[in-house]
Structures are given as structure tokens and as C-alpha cells.
């Protein structure tokens, strides 16, 4: 028999919207932008849009379709995110999936005492260090608002703690343009120069408008700063259903899309080719507690739909998952983290943030991060599909074995067990007696022990002297 | 410790059957005593395997590879050990009980015992009390291992123990039972000497029994 073509592997993927549905949302977005308009409070942003062909009526800026189309065409289809040592570790491209923590929680679960308490700068650094050690966490966010630093310097300290704690790419937040300037100076010192920073970015801004339709000056100025410097930014609005967005997810998606595209247009008007990460947060506002749910099925439903929009625009996208509304790391947390991670993987969400959040994003948990690391590994295994080839079909082994005798000691098993089976690390599959002898530990206890073990052992390449000098200088200037 | 034994331990840990067999021959050629090769080479190597398996660092297929390598070394050593009058580690007669055709778990236990240096007489599946008795007597076994996967076939374990008593062999052999439905309580109730929840535990239990 001549050599035959191999059987290619289907890697299962979920499309949430039909092409027709995608176009319907896109048209609704164009209607919102051109007819309803947005409230642009930043004068520079307003001027940019008007000069480019937007018009103003009834204090709203109304944006025509050609601005949208041109800006999307100018936006890069990939953002090559590097670690802070200059290695390409996170090329944000459609088809790839990367996971990382979330930003700015008020509280953290103390890994030593289990107590829910205000987060500190040291917590941000410790959680970054934990993320640095976890194989399936690709980027770092702050996971805490430090309560022990001057409130005006909060975001500067978050950034410093993140880069001290991890070499992985980070996604940072800032208060205003002054914050942006200081963070940029530190980042340039870490990269070695402004040019190195542009070529090998290791930081990405997370800023957002206020849904619905409001673009505050401070928020716009952060985005404009990134465009001026040519460094990456995301501007995902949060039209949470029933709160910042209509109660129906379709309307929230159309609105969020419009708001996000305004940010995209601004960056491309300032500097065509500015790396801009498309996306939005369309979580459900709970109709009893008014919390924004990080565990509801509408959350991944919206993100999966959003990925179809991203593919329509040929842009990688921001997404979220691996989080929970539960107040503790319990069964609910496990269900909600798994649900959003697996669905994000099946939709090929490019960048999944908020991993390790509990309490609807108000508290960060190291245990949740350790558990999510395992869930991500499992989701990645499943998304890889099932290889069908002569080795995996195992016909020789099937012909060889004695009926009833089993394959456990067959050479085929010995040769292939490591690649054919997913091997658990945090999940426990030991027999009852061994589990009992090892202390009858549940998942939370094991994750807590693992987190503490990592914190005790894991070393991170320190920042250069130049970077530490820039940090000292900026903090001194801020005191003065 | 001579380097050749150290290397034998490493090769054993890596499951390299050919290397272990070759090293065993070489050690004999160099004039080492069979007992030294057994105790300080093969058994010490297998102890490291057992330790790491118990700690969760090794997988069953890896342990089976090690057991296979150990067995290859043992085959070379066995005639010499007999010649020099070194008592064997122990002889196990094992089988899945009457009415039960499940082979896989019992095979795993067999291989683990071989890996630990025991001589194993595997009677296969659906083994009647009479066949067990006959083999225990003919082989002069130290241990009798019985496996059952089904709750419905478990009573055959008790029937075999009763038959051992009747044949006057109960004091000559230690009885070890295992399988999914078997518990320590059941072992006690039917007068078995020990119960093991998995293959690694079976070997440990056996070692405790025949010391």
C-alpha cells in the first residue's frame, strides 16, 4: 500500500453565533455608534473623532461606519506579548488561548490563616510569585488593591509588586495619565529603553469606559497615552446585563461592542497600528443581590459570542474565566471556575483573565489559582481532541493480548501511557486507604498546602538595578 | 558499595531489563556473591521503586517495567542462590477465585510480587479451592493470594480457607486476599491473615507476614 494521508485531528471548537447573528450584532453596533452616539467627556478624544468625520448633536458624538471600518483595518491582528526578560511568551493571536489572574480586588484570602482581609502590596507580589510558578498561568494581574500604601500611589505599587513578583507579562491598571507616565518610565527601565519596550512589550493597559456610553476624561487619557507611545492596551467596557447594559445579552453585546470600538477608533486615529486588544465584559447583574456575577452561565455565553465577533473583525480578544461568586473555595467555586474555563477554551478565547477570583471578584484566592491551574491543564487536554493513527488505534496490542488478560503490562501501555492519559496533579485519585493515611485532605487543603510550598520555594529573577533605581526615583518624586 | 551494584540499582529504577540482566552476569563474573548481588543490587533498587511509587512519584507501568527488569536479574541469580543455599524470599501461589474470570488486578499483584523478588505460581482465573490446595501442597508455598472482583464470588475465599484447614495446611501458609469488594473486616471474618487494598500494599503486607 502506498503511503496514505494521515487522519487529521478535529480539535473541538464551539461557535456561539451564526454568521447572520454576528452581522446582526455588528449592524446594531453601527446603529448605536451613528445614531445614538456616545458621551465623550475627554476634549482630546472629542476633537479626534470630530476631525475624523464624526458629528456632534445633542451633546453626543455620533460615529459613522467608515471610521469603524478603517480603524479595524488598521488594528494589528496580533500583539506579541513578551515576558520582562524579553522572551516571546504570549503572542495574542486568534486560535491561541492564554490565562491569567484578575485585577484590583479589595480583599484577599490570607493563605496562612484563611481569613478574608484587605489586600496589601506584599499580597500582590506574593500572588504574582505564585502565578510565576504556575505553568498554566501565562500573565499576571494585581489580584489586590494594596490597602497599606498611599491611595494616590495604589496603581504604581500594584505595578511594582507585579514585576517584582513575576517575569510573566502583566496587565495593569492606572488612575490617570500621571500614573501612566510613571508606570511607563518604570517599564522602559525594565525593558532597557522605550524602543525595546515597544518592540517587546511585557505590559498591557486595562482601562474601560463607563457603560452605558460614557467616556470619562481620565479613562480616555490612559488609552491615548498608550496610543501615543505605541504600547498595548485593552479597553473592555462592562455592560453587565441589567446594570451597565440591557438585561438581554444580545443588547449588552451590541452596546459593549460599540463602546469597545470607540476605544479602538481613538487609538488608531492617534497612531495607526497601535496594539489594541478587542473585547468586553458582559456579565450578569444578579437580580437579587445586584452583584455582577462571575459564575453565571451568561458570563461564558457572552464571551463565546464575543469571540465570534472577534473572529469577524480578525482580532484577538479579551475574555474572562476561572472565577466564582462563592465566598469560599468550595464546590460552587469548583463548578463555576470549571464551567467558565472549559467554555472559554472551546470558544478559543485569546486572553482569559480573572482566574482565581472568588466572591464575584471582590476577593482573590491563591487556593483558587492553584486549583484553576489544574482545570486549565485539563481543559487544554480536552480541547486538543483525539488523535486517530496507527499508534493510537493499537491494533498490534489488541491482536497480541490474551482475552481477559488486560493491557496494563503490555509494551503499548508502557510506551504510550504518559501521552495518552491526562495525569492529575491537584486532583486526587488515590485509593481510599492511601488518601486517608495522607490526612484525608480535601481539594482546598491540598491547594492551600501547594500554594504555601510554592511561596516558600519559588525564586523569581530580580529586577535589574536600573529598574529598581527608576522605582526608587519615582516613589521619591511622589512623596515630594 | 561496588559501582556495578549502584549502576544496577539505577538501571533497575529506569526499568532497563537488558542492562540489569547484563549487570547481574557481570557481577557474578567479577566474583560477587549471589546474596550480595540480590540484597545490595536488585532488592535495594526495588525498594527505591516501591518507596517512590508509594509517594506517588511513579506510575504503575513504570513499576511494572522495573519489576520486569528485577525478574530478569532474578532468573540469572536463582540457580546460584539455590546452589549456595540462600533461602528464597518466599513463594506465592496466587489466583482469581472460582466463578470469577477477572484477570487484570491479579496479574498486577503477581508482577509486583515478582518484582519484589518472590517466586510466583500464578494459577490464573476461576481457580477452585481444590486447585489452590493442590498447588499450596505441591509448591510448598509460603503465601496464598486470592483475588475476587465480584461480591458474588467472594464466598469462594472462605471456602478455600475452610478447605485449607480441612487439609491440615492452614498453619503452613499465610493467606492474603484482595479485590474491589474485599475489606479488612471481611478478611478477619473469614480467617485470612491479611488484606491489601492495592498491589503495592499486597507486597508490603506479605513481607510483614513472612518475616
Residues A219, A90: Cα–Cα separation, whole Å:
26
pLDDT attached to residue B211: 62
Taking the CA of residue A301 and the nearest CA in chain B, the distance in Å comes to 39
| Mean pLDDT, rounded, of chain A | 96
pLDDT, average across residues B158-173 = 94
Residue to mutate among B59, B61, B201, with most A CBs inside 10 A, is B61
Q: Who has greater pLDDT, A113 or B59?
A: A113
Q: Are A72 and A265 in contact (CB under 8 A)?
A: no
Taking the CA of residue B142 and the nearest CA in chain A, the distance in Å comes to 26
pLDDT attached to residue B104: 86
Search chain B and give the residue with CA nearest A432: B197
Put simply, whether B198 touches A (Cβ < 8 Å) is yes
Residue to mutate among A409, A417, A427, with most B CBs inside 10 A, is A409
Q: Where are the beta strands (DSSP E) in B28-105?
A: 91-96
Percent of chain B exceeding pLDDT 70 equals 100
In tens, the pLDDT along A100-154 reads 999 999 999 999 999 999 999 999 999 999 999 999 999 999 999 999 999 999 9
Put simply, whether B60 touches A (Cβ < 8 Å) is yes
Q: Where are the beta strands (DSSP E) in B58-185?
A: 91-96, 119-122, 143-147, 174-178
Q: Are A109 and A365 in contact (CB under 8 A)?
A: yes
Grid coordinates in use for A462? 530580580
Chain A environment of B104 (Cβ under 8 Å):
405-406, 408
Q: What ipTM was predicted for this assembly? A: 0.80
Chain B environment of A449 (Cβ under 8 Å):
none
Residues B158, B178: Cα–Cα separation, whole Å:
13
Residue B21, pLDDT > 90, answer yes
**Which residues 377-416 of A have a C-beta within 8 angstroms of B?**
402, 404-406, 408-409, 413-414
Put simply, whether B201 touches A (Cβ < 8 Å) is yes
Chain A environment of B125 (Cβ under 8 Å):
404
Record: contact A417-B59, CB cut-off 8 A: yes
Record: contact A404-B60, CB cut-off 8 A: no
3-state secondary structure A179-227: HHHHHHHHHHHHHCCHHHHHHCCCEEEECCCECCCEECHHHHHHHHHHH
Q: Which residues pair with A294 in a beta bridge?
A: none
Record: contact B64-A405, CB cut-off 8 A: no
pLDDT attached to residue B108: 87
Nearest by Cα to A91 from A81, A83, A76? A81
Termini Cα distance of chain B: 25
Closest Cβ–Cβ partner in B59, B107, B198 for A405: B107
In tens, the pLDDT along A177-224 reads 999 999 999 999 999 999 999 999 999 999 999 999 999 999 999 999
Chain B environment of A408 (Cβ under 8 Å):
60-61, 64, 104, 107-108
Put simply, whether B55 touches A (Cβ < 8 Å) is no
In tens, the pLDDT along A59-69 reads 999 999 999 99
In tens, the pLDDT along A448-459 reads 999 999 999 999
Give the count of beta carbons closer than 10 Å to the beta carbon of residue A77. 11
Search chain B and give the residue with CA nearest A408: B61
My answer on whether omega of the bond before A212 falls inside 30° of 0, hence cis, is yes
Residues A357, A333: Cα–Cα separation, whole Å:
9
Q: Where are the beta strands (DSSP E) in B43-200?
A: 91-96, 119-122, 143-147, 174-178, 194-196
3-state secondary structure of A171: strand
Distance of CA A252 to the CA centre of its chain: 20
In tens, the pLDDT along A390-431 reads 999 999 999 999 888 889 888 999 899 988 999 999 999 988
- Give the pairing type, strands A107-109 and B143-147: unpaired
Amino acid at each position: 500500500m502506498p503511503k496514505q494521508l494521515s487522519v487529521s485531528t478535529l480539535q473541538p471548537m464551539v461557535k456561539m453565533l451564526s454568521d447572520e447573528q454576528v452581522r446582526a450584532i455588528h449592524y446594531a453596533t453601527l446603529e448605536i455608534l451613528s445614531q445614538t452616539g456616545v458621551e465623550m467627556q475627554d476634549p482630546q478624544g472629542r476633537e479626534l473623532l470630530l476631525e475624523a468625520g464624526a458629528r456632534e448633536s445633542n451633546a453626543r458624538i455620533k460615529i459613522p461606519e467608515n471610521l469603524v471600518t478603517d480603524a479595524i483595518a488598521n488594528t494589528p491582528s496580533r500583539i506579541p506579548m513578551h515576558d520582562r526578560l524579553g522572551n516571546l511568551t504570549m503572542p495574542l493571536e486568534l486560535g491561541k488561548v492564554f490565562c491569567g489572574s484578575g485585577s484590583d480586588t479589595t480583599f484577599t484570602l490570607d493563605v496562612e490563616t484563611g481569613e478574608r482581609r484587605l489586600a496589601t502590596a506584599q499580597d500582590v507580589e506574593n500572588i504574582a510569585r505564585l502565578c510565576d510558578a504556575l505553568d498554566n498561568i501565562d500573565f499576571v494581574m494585581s489580584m489586590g488593591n494594596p490597602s497599606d500604601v498611599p491611595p494616590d500611589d495604589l496603581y504604581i505599587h500594584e505595578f511594582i509588586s507585579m514585576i517584582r513578583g513575576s517575569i510573566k507579562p502583566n496587565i495593569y491598571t492606572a488612575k490617570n495619565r500621571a500614573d501612566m507616565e510613571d508606570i511607563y518610565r518604570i517599564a522602559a527601565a525594565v525593558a532597557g529603553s522605550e524602543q525595546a519596550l515597544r518592540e517587546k512589550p511585557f505590559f498591557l493597559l486595562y482601562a474601560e469606559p463607563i457603560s452605558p456610553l460614557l467616556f470619562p476624561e481620565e479613562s480616555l487619557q490612559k488609552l491615548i497615552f498608550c496610543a501615543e507611545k505605541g504600547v498595548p492596551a485593552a479597553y473592555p467596557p462592562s455592560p453587565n446585563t441589567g446594570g451597565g447594559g440591557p438585561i438581554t445579552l444580545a443588547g449588552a453585546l451590541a452596546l459593549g461592542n460599540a463602546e469597545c470600538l470607540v476605544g479602538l477608533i481613538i487609538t488608531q486615529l492617534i497612531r495607526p497600528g497601535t496594539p489594541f486588544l478587542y473585547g468586553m465584559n458582559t456579565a450578569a447583574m444578579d437580580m437579587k443581590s445586584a452583584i455582577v456575577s462571575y459564575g453565571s452561565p451568561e458570563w461564558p455565553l457572552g464571551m463565546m459570542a464575543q469571540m465570534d465577533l472577534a473572529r469577524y473583525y480578525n482580532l484577538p480578544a479579551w475574555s474572562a474565566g476561572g472565577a466564582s461568586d462563592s465566598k469560599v473555595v468550595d464546590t460552587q467555586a469548583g463548578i463555576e471556575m470549571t464551567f467558565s474555563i472549559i467554555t472559554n477554551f472551546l470558544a478559543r478565547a485569546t486572553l482569559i483573565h480573572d482566574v482565581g477570583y472568588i466572591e464575584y471578584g471582590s476577593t482573590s484566592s491563591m487556593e483558587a489559582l492553584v486549583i484553576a491551574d489544574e482545570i486549565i491543564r485539563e481543559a487544554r487536554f480536552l480541547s486538543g481532541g483525539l488523535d486517530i493513527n496507527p499508534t493510537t488505534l493499537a491494533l498490534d496490542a489488541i491482536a497480541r493480548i490474551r482475552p481477559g488478560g488486560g493491557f496494563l503490562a503490555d509494551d503499548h501501555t508502557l510506551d504510550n501511557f504518559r501521552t495518552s492519559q491526562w495525569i492529575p496533579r491537584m486532583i486526587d485519585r488515590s485509593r481510599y486507604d492511601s488518601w486517608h493515611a495522607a490526612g484525608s485532605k480535601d481539594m482546598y487543603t491540598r491547594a492551600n498546602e501547594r500554594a504555601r510550598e510554592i511561596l516558600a520555594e519559588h525564586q523569581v529573577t530580580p529586577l535589574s538595578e536600573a529598574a529598581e533605581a527608576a522605582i526608587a526615583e519615582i516613589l521619591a518624586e511622589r512623596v515630594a | 558499595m561496588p559501582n556495578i551494584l549502584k549502576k544496577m540499582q539505577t538501571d533497575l529504577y529506569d526499568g532497563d531489563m537488558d542492562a540489569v540482566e547484563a549487570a547481574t552476569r557481570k557481577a557474578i563474573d567479577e566474583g560477587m556473591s549471589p546474596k550480595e548481588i540480590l540484597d545490595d543490587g536488585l532488592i535495594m533498587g526495588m525498594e527505591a521503586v516501591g518507596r517512590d511509587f508509594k509517594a506517588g512519584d511513579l506510575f504503575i507501568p513504570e513499576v511494572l517495567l522495573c519489576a520486569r527488569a528485577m525478574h530478569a536479574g532474578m532468573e540469572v541469580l536463582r540457580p546460584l542462590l539455590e546452589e549456595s543455599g540462600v533461602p528464597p524470599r518466599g513463594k506465592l501461589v496466587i489466583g482469581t477465585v472460582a466463578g470469577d474470570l477477572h484477570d487484570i488486578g491479579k496479574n498486577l499483584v503477581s508482577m509486583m510480587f515478582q518484582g519484589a523478588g518472590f517466586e510466583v505460581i500464578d494459577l490464573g482465573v476461576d481457580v477452585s479451592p481444590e486447585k489452590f490446595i493442590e498447588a499450596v501442597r505441591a509448591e510448598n508455598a509460603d503465601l496464598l493470594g486470592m483475588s475476587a472482583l465480584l461480591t458474588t464470588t467472594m464466598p469462594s475465599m472462605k471456602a478455600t480457607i475452610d478447605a485449607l484447614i480441612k487439609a491440615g495446611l492452614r498453619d503452613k501458609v499465610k493467606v492474603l486476599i484482595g479485590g474491589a469488594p474485599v475489606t479488612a473486616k471481611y478478611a478477619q471474618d473469614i480467617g485470612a491473615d491479611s488484606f491489601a487494598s492495592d498491589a503495592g500494599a499486597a507486597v508490603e503486607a506479605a513481607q510483614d507476614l513472612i518475616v
